[in-house]
Amino acid sequence: MRFIPERKDFMDSLLEDTVNIPAARSDLMRTDIRKTNDAYFLDIEMCGYAKDEIEISLYNGNLTVRGMHKADTPKKEGSIVRQERYHGTCSRTYYVGSALREEDVKASYENGILTVEIPTPEKREAEQKKYISIE
């Protein structure tokens, strides 16, 4: 049985979720975390995804980012010898604290980078699973 230590700090919990993951995994959504006086910013690499293929949800203090590639490749003459385009889903979850509400989180997507803005924690009750719109 693995003992999971209690998360002490908001930033520690964000880093905990991103550390100890092999960098060579092709499905990994690489993330940079920045902090300002008012908020944390998660810059998540989502290259190759369209804005409507990305979904962000918040449930019980866990922020989940999910990318879903659709298999809408046009039929071409001949058989495929090798295909390197990925069709399917990938997701990553970050613990952001149960005090955060979905209306507090902002997201934007530009040039393959999803930027999620999370305000510094305030004490609020956790809510039901909801989705966050991407601008």
* Whether pTM exceeds 0.75: no
pLDDT of residue 54: 94
The domain spans of the chain are 10-20+28-70+87-132
Give the model confidence (pLDDT) of 14-33 as tens digits: 555 544 444 444 457 899 99
Does domain 10-20+28-70+87-132 bear CATH number 2.60.40.790?
Answer: yes
Give the model confidence (pLDDT) of 45-102 as tens digits: 998 888 999 999 999 989 999 998 876 666 778 887 777 766 778 899 999 888 888 8
Q: Pairing relation of β-strands 89-95 and 39-45?
A: unpaired
Gyration radius (Cα) of the chain, Å: 17
